[in-house]
Amino acid sequence: MILRELSEAVGVSGDEGSVRVVVLDAVREHVDEVKVDTMGNVLAFKRGTARLSASTEPGEVSSKSGRQRMRVMLAAHMDEVGLMVVGYDNDGFLRVRAIGSIDPRLLPGTLLQVGPERIPAVIGAKPIHLLENGEREKVPKLEDLLVDIGAKSKDEARKLAPLGTYATFATQFRELGPTVSGKAFDDRAGCAVLVELLRGERFRFDLHAAFTVQEEFGLRGARVAAYGIEPDCGFALEGTIADDIPKDKDVSPTTELGQGPAITVMDYSFIADRRLVQLLTSTAEELGIPYQIKQPGIGGTDAGTIHLAREGVPSVTVAVPCRYIHSPVALLSLEDFNNTVRLMRESLSRLTRRTLNRGRRN
């Protein structure tokens, strides 16, 4: 399962090299061209099957040149949230800061892998026996946490993990029956969906896949990728928040495990193109693929910068629901994963220039 390799690869924002290797190996023989751009995005191109001739159906021709196939961008980000070494304690402990949003409540006692050599480490925590009154109720701040790599001195610590060294969770991928668990499902789940789509049949349009960098650090990779690709429309593929743990009130679970791919209508970063949302929901309904609309207003994805590229790119986000994202371990349903691949494949095979011409009478 490609998701296992992707999940276990290490690639905190700005240091996506190991994930890039996995991605390149996974897609190389299924695409026509693949390159790495200046930011580090992997851009893979898979030519469409629509014939290029003056008589090509208008539905398959890009409005820009009149003789081009439609260009569709599919993006998934390779980077994951993690930590960076920013200092040392005199006794050889590391001080860290977060890259991307991480909940400090989840950190004490977790296992890490530090640097390219994947040095095992533990985030230190005071034993429960020694906690003083009131300490149990307090959440430690990230800057107060100590990362223990077994170094005995400041110098040794600095040697093992120089300033700026990345660290991430040391979590193995596990199959739990209908679900799987592992780290970095945000967004290796999306990367895995994109790999599956590239491995399948060609579409009529030209497919431009972007495995992007630095999403968790400001949607930065997708921005330049979309500028370079100049797509007619864009899809961000994601692993998103499933918040279906029991609640006191009858309120939104954001998304739920097992209820199918989650389609974004609006989040803090963008508003999805309604015609693309409609394409996805009508395809799902026609084929009986379960789907859910993600609770609007929550989170942000690469679509937030893709839609702003050049003259604007109609965009949407489709995600595999994942419990406990941005934590040391996330969990997703394989059925949701497979349904996301299927919904994307079926929707994309129904996507034509006409989809994007609706409401755009010129």
Partner 1 sequence: MRELIRELVETYGPSGVEEQIRAVIRAEVEPFADELRVDPLGSLVVRKQGSPSASSGQTGEGKRLVLAAHMDEIGIMVTYVDEKGFARFTRIGGVSPLTCVSARVAFADGTVGVIGIEEKREDTSKAPKFEQLYLDVGATSRDDCPVHVGDAAVFVRPFAVQGARLIAKAMDDRIGCAVLIETLRRLERTPHDVYFVFSVQEETTLSGARTSAYGIEPDMAIAVDVTVTGDKPECRPMAVELGKGPAVKVQDSGMIAHPRVRDLLVQRAKEADIPYQLEVLERGTTDAAAMQLVRAGVPSGCLSIPCRYVHSPSEMVDEGDVENGVRLLLEVLRAA
Q: Which residues bind partner 1 (CB under 8 A)?
A: 232, 250-252, 265-266, 269-274, 277, 293, 295-297, 304, 307-308, 310-314, 356, 359-362
- Whole-number Å distance between alpha carbons of 36 and 44: 9
Rounded least distance, CB 204 to partner 1, Å: 20
Whichever of 137 and 311 has its CB closer to partner 1, that residue is 311
Give the DSSP H/E element, type plus range, for residue 123.
strand 119-123
* Residues labelled as active-site residues: 215
Rounded least distance, CB 43 to partner 1, Å: 21
Q: Which residues contact 154 (CB under 8 A, 6 or more apart)?
A: 88, 89, 90, 91, 92
The tokens describing 47, both together, are: 């030519």
**DSSP symbols for 338-358:** HHHHHHHHHHHHH--HHHHHT
Q: Which residues contact 131 (CB under 8 A, 6 or more apart)?
A: none
Letter string b/e over residues 284-314, b meaning 16 or more CB atoms within 10 A of that residue's CB: beeeebebbebbeebbbbbbbbbbbbeeebb
**DSSP symbols for 253-293:** -SS-TTS-PEEESB-SS-B--HHHHHHHHHHHHHHT---EE
Rounded least distance, CB 254 to partner 1, Å: 9
DSSP bridge partners of 72: 207, 233
Q: How many CB atoms lie within 10 A of CB 264?
A: 28
- Whole-number Å distance between alpha carbons of 312 and 200: 28
Whichever of 108 and 300 has its CB closer to partner 1, that residue is 300
Rounded least distance, CB 244 to partner 1, Å: 12
Cβ(200)–Cβ(209) below 8 Å = no
- Whole-number Å distance between alpha carbons of 219 and 227: 13
Rounded least distance, CB 311 to partner 1, Å: 4
Rounded least distance, CB 262 to partner 1, Å: 11
Whichever of 122 and 271 has its CB closer to partner 1, that residue is 271
